Structure 1
Amino acid sequence: MARKRKNRTHLKGGVASNPGAAEGVPKSFVIKHGQVGSSLAQLVRDFRKVMEPNTASRLRERARNKLRDFLTMAPALGVTHLLAFTLTDVAPSMRIVRLSAGPTLSFRVERYSLMKDLVNSSRRARSMSTVEYLSSPLLVLASFPPPSPTTPPHLTLLMKTFQSLFPPLAPQSLSLSSARRVVLVHYNAERGTVDVRHYLITVKPYGVSKRIRRVLEGASAKSAPSTATAHATLDLGSEKDVADFLLRRRGEPGPSSDGYESAASSASSAGGDDGDAISLADDYVGRNNKKGQKRAVKLDEVGPRMELRLIKIVEGVPGKEGGVLYHEFVKKSKAEAKAQKADHAAKEKLRLQRRKEQEANVQRKKAALEGDKKGKNAGEDEDDEDQDGENDEDMEADEDVISGGEEDLSGDDADDGEGAWDDEEMISEGEDEDESGSESEEEAPRPPPKKLKTKSKR
């Protein structure tokens, strides 16, 4: 018998413990549509991890699903953004759709790297667990020009679009232990592109050498042997003294002659910089990361990494597009833009008119159908009444036939002398005796009936 699979019915992260916190939080769908390769499909799965926990991480697209299917289903589920990846003849493309009225931003993915690519290329790769994805990442917008009359409007809209993808930051109510990840959106003015990076926040002891940090933090998974006996205890079995491990400089066969580490080696191996050191305002995850401790904050990139180029901004959503607000390659004059706006207004007016006509036709058909049902019911009642009247007439006719037959029978008996009873006819004495004798014979006692023999069961 197959094992019953339990479905997860609880919400993710802090939403399960505080349902009211989900109100006003942006939610997203990250999907792929059309024929895409395995690499782009993996990019979609990686970007869902970036958008955790307020995204459908287990959403499965089917080949017959269209983009309008997700657009129709998203508002009922409270989804505010749709990120759709597809593969074009030029390059991969990504669209960010603000539901349910738009706008729609179309990007060309110039370059991208998957999470596994960054892990394989990094010397200090960090393993990600599910705990890091239970809270939303912190958004950092870098190198975007501030909103002003001289700033191009499409850059301001681009910045606000990325800002609306993630929950707003509230420093007064933010828990320090929930700040685990950072999403960096950097605008490159020289190339005209947007770089998207994903980092993991790490906190390390400050002001101590790397070897002492290893003693305090324990052996890392990378330095430990890749067997089942790997543990967090530092292995010093190859050292004669703990000073051989703590005071030896990199590349030296052993500790210095005086038994102490030099100032140069201490300065070179000391972890952290004054710019990286902070005092923890609250307890943080990790060993000895208590409130008030001085720690060095590092960012480890975990991916994915994308370089996006904004191509077009359109009013509305796919299938109900409006005017083009910005285009990277097509530039129109004011007259052309005005004519295009009037054309879109006329199309929208025609669409609303057709919708009203369709609704009126639906109401008319419903009224006609109800009228037909009422007329059919009334006709059935009239047929029942007619049938009742016909049945009454048939019953009366049958009674007449019966009564008439009785009159005919009485008339035939009167006319026909055979078999008629004559009251004046006299009975002879002999006949009377015979009848009396027969009556006496009938009155004689009869013997009791014999019992039937039945076969007894042996």
Structure 2
Amino acid sequence: MGRHRKNRTHLKGGVASNPAAAEGVPKSFVIKHGQVGTSLTQLVRDMRRVMEPYTASRLKERTRNKLKDFFTMAPALGVTHLLAFTLTDVAPSLRIVRLSAGPTLSFRIERYSLVKDVLNSSKRARNIGSVEYLTPPLLVLASFPQPGPGTPPHLPLLMKTFQTLFPPLSPQKLSLSSARRIVLISYNADRGTVDFRHYLITVKPYGVSKRVRRVLEGATTKVSASKGYLDLGNEKDVADFFLRKKGEPGPSSDGYESAASSASSAGGDDVDAISLADDYLGRNNKKGQKRAVRLDEVGPRMELRLIKITEGLPGKEGSVIYHEFVKKTKAEATAQKAEHVAKEKLRQQRREEQERNVKRKKAEADGKKAGSDSAEQEEGEEDDGALNDEELEDDGVWDDEEEYSGGEEDENASGSDEEESSEDEGPRPPLKKPKRGKR
């Protein structure tokens, strides 16, 4: 029996249900550049998970690949951003490149933690599935100063760069069930760094204890996980399970707790509780229900320091917009800008001159080819004319070896000569029969 072959392409999440939704959204490449260790390679994989679904999750880099290769391939795939991780002598670095004309932001990674490190250090182990990554995360910018006369000029550009990394948020068109993750970018003014955090959105019943919430959500205890229901065999009363304080061996006269004052309540403050504007994923999360929202960090976690902002792409950098360690006066900045303008003008002139040379050489080659064709055609015409002249000359010139027969006298003379020759020759011998070979 032949092997079943899949002919249908399976797309992710919103792209499969609504192909037009993928148009106009930012797409990214997350790559490692140069020789990096295993930790930085894992960080690249974690960042690809953060940028899903509009990123190349299975992109494989080769050691011989250059950044120019990705710049050439990106426009055909609609990629708008490139995140390149590399390892320097000082520290790991990250470059965020806006395609296809720049600018390029260079960061130094001061500290970072992988997804496995964050989950291992968390008290509440969270099961991360693939459903959370079918929709893009929501971006939250915190602690950035408002644009104004006293604001450093590089901070608005930094905010704009992070905003364009993710799809724009439209509250009127956003489905509540698609809000599954949050990316938090916060600016630390004291250290001059940017903190990168990644969270999952969790919705829990509000104002109930952990045991009641376990019943409402349909969760099972560790003892009865295989049975699929709560194991109350060791309890004397249902109230022992629902109202007993944590750590007490059994019920007592004053050992009960109310649902509102439970220490394990999902939300004990009205600030944490919201009314759902629409149906959300999970059991009993219907529109209008009061629920507590909690953010569970899943990583990765990075602390970034902005080093430099340049115009253009790596390899074709223009003027330096901002530098953390190099400070220049206005005169030096003006001179550098004039130098870049002169270099760009010279580059443009050389490009135009090269194009003119290519056109001129192509025209010369076409002219030589046309001249050779015309010369061959003229030679062919001359050969044809020479042949025609020779034929005409053959018709008008007598050949010495050619016999001439003209008039009756000549005919009679020729006839008598033939008779005389036939009489002189005598009878001819019979023809010999060919010998037949043995079969």
TM-score range, shorter chain: 0.7 to 0.9
Bigger Rg over Cα = 1
SS in 1 for 2:17: coil
What one-letter code is carried by the residue in structure 2 that aligns with 1:28? S
What are structure 1's unaligned runs of at least 5 residues?
435-458
Q: Residue 433 of structure 2 aligns with which residue?
A: none
Q: Which runs of 5+ in 2 are unaligned?
A: 428-439
Q: Paired residue for 2:309, among 290, 308, 313?
A: 313
Matched position secondary structure for 1:377: helix
Q: 1:381: how far off?
A: 2.0
Name the CA shift for 1:264/1:31 in 2 (closer, same or farther; >3 Å): closer
- The offset of 1:318, in angstroms, is 0.9
1:46 counterpart residue number: 46
Is residue 272 of structure 1 aligned with residue 267 of structure 2? yes
- State the 1:89 CA deviation: 0.8
One-letter identity of the residue aligned with 2:311 = E
Aligned runs of 1:319-398 on 2, under 5 Å?
319-392=315-388
Does residue 302 (structure 1) correspond to residue 298 (structure 2)? The answer is yes
Alignment of 1:188-203 (within 5 A): 188-203=188-203
Counterpart amino acid of residue 250 in structure 2: G
- Give, in whole Å, the separation in 2 of the partners of 1:115 and 1:326: 32
SS at match of 1:299: strand
User: Hey, what does 1:456 align to over in structure 2?
Assistant: none
Structure 1 residue 90: Cα displacement: 0.8
Corresponding pairs, count: 421
Contact persistence 1:224–1:231 (CA under 8 A): no
CA distance in 2, matches of 1:231, 1:153: 61
Please state if 1:420 is matched with 2:417. yes
Whether contact under 8 Å (1:212, 1:246) holds in the other structure is: yes
TM-score, scaled to structure 1: 0.83
CA contact (8 A) 1:28 1:82 kept: yes
Question: Does the C-alpha gap of structure 1 residues 426 and 85 become closer, same or farther in structure 2, counting only changes over 3 Å?
Answer: closer
What is the DSSP-based 3-state SS (H/G/I as helix, E as strand, rest coil) of the residue aligned with 1:320? coil
Q: Work out whether residues 249 and 265 of structure 1, in 8 Å CA contact, stay in contact via their aligned partners in 2.
A: no
Deviations 1:408-434 (A, max 9, x none): 899xx99xx9x933579999xxx9xx9
Matched, 1:74 2:70: no
Shift of residue 346, structure 1, vs aligned partner: 0.6
**Amino acid in the other structure paired with 2:316:** K
Do the aligned residues in 2 keep the contact of 1:91 with 1:108 (CA within 8 Å)?
Answer: yes
Q: 1:402 to 1:216 in 2, by over 3 A?
A: farther
Cα distance, 1:387 vs structure 2: 3.5
Given that 2:259 and 2:265 are in contact with CA atoms closer than 8 Å, whether structure 1 keeps it comes out as no
Match of 2:169 in 1: 169
Shift of 1:280: 0.4
Separation in 2, partners of 1:312, 1:216: 52
Identity fraction in percent: 72
CA shift digits 1:138-162 (9 cap, x unpaired): 1000000000010001111111111
Superposition deviation, residue 8 in structure 1: 6.9
Q: Using the TM superposition, give the Cα deviation of residue 129 of structure 1 relative to its aligned residue in structure 2, in angstroms.
A: 1.9
> Contact 1:138–1:181 (CA<8 Å) still a contact in 2?
yes
- CA distance in structure 2 between the partners assigned to 1:168 and 1:336 by the alignment: 38
Q: Deviations over 1:257-301 (max 9, x none)?
A: 47x723499432333132111110100000000001000000011
TM-score (structure 2 length as normaliser) = 0.87
Q: Is the 8 A contact 1:96 1:104 kept in 2?
A: yes
Partner of 2:242: 246
Q: Does structure 1 retain, via aligned residues, the 8 Å contact 2:184–2:196? A: yes
C-alpha separation in 1, matches of 2:156 and 2:86: 25
- Which whole-Å deviations, capped at 9, do the CAs of 1:192-249 have from their partners, x for residues lacking one? 11000000001001111001111111226xx5479xx746533334444433322322
User: Is the 2:102–2:311 contact (alpha carbons within 8 Å) kept by the matching residues of 1?
Assistant: yes
Q: Which amino acid aligns with 2:305?
A: R
The 2-side partners of 1:2 and 1:153 are apart by 65
1:288-345 residue CA offsets vs partner (Å, 9 max, x unmatched): 0000100000001111111100000111111111111111111111111111111111
Report the secondary structure of 2:287's partner residue. Answer: coil
The answer for the alignment partner of 2:436 in structure 1 is none
Deviations, residues 166-195 of structure 1 (Å, cap 9, x unaligned): 111111111100100000001111111100
Q: Distance in 1 between matches of 2:85 and 2:321?
A: 21
| 8 Å contact kept, 2:207–2:259 | no
Judging changes above 3 Å, is the alpha-carbon distance between structure 1 residues 54 and 262 closer, same or farther for their aligned structure 2 residues?
Answer: closer
- The Cα shift of 1:403 comes to 4.9
- Tell me, yes or no, if the aligned pair for 2:208 and 2:260 is still in contact at 8 Å: no
* Superposition map of 1:177-188 within 5 A: 177-188=177-188
Give the Cα separation in 2 of the matches to 1:424 and 1:161: 117
Deviations along 1:388-412, one digit per CA (max 9) or x if unpaired, are: 33444565677789954323899xx
Stretch deviating more after TM superposition (370-379 or 25-34): 370-379
Contact 1:201/1:300 (8 A) holds in 2: yes
**CA distances 1:40-77 after superposition (whole Å, capped 9, x unpaired):** 11111111111111111121111111001111221222
Relative to 1, partners in 2 of residues 1:402 and 1:278: Cα closer, same or farther, differing over 3 Å? farther
Q: Following TM superposition, by how much is the alpha carbon of 1:111 offset from its aligned partner in structure 2, in angstroms? A: 0.8
Contact 2:206 2:266 in 1 (8 A): yes
Cross-structure match for 2:15: 15
1:290 aligns to 2:286 (yes or no): yes
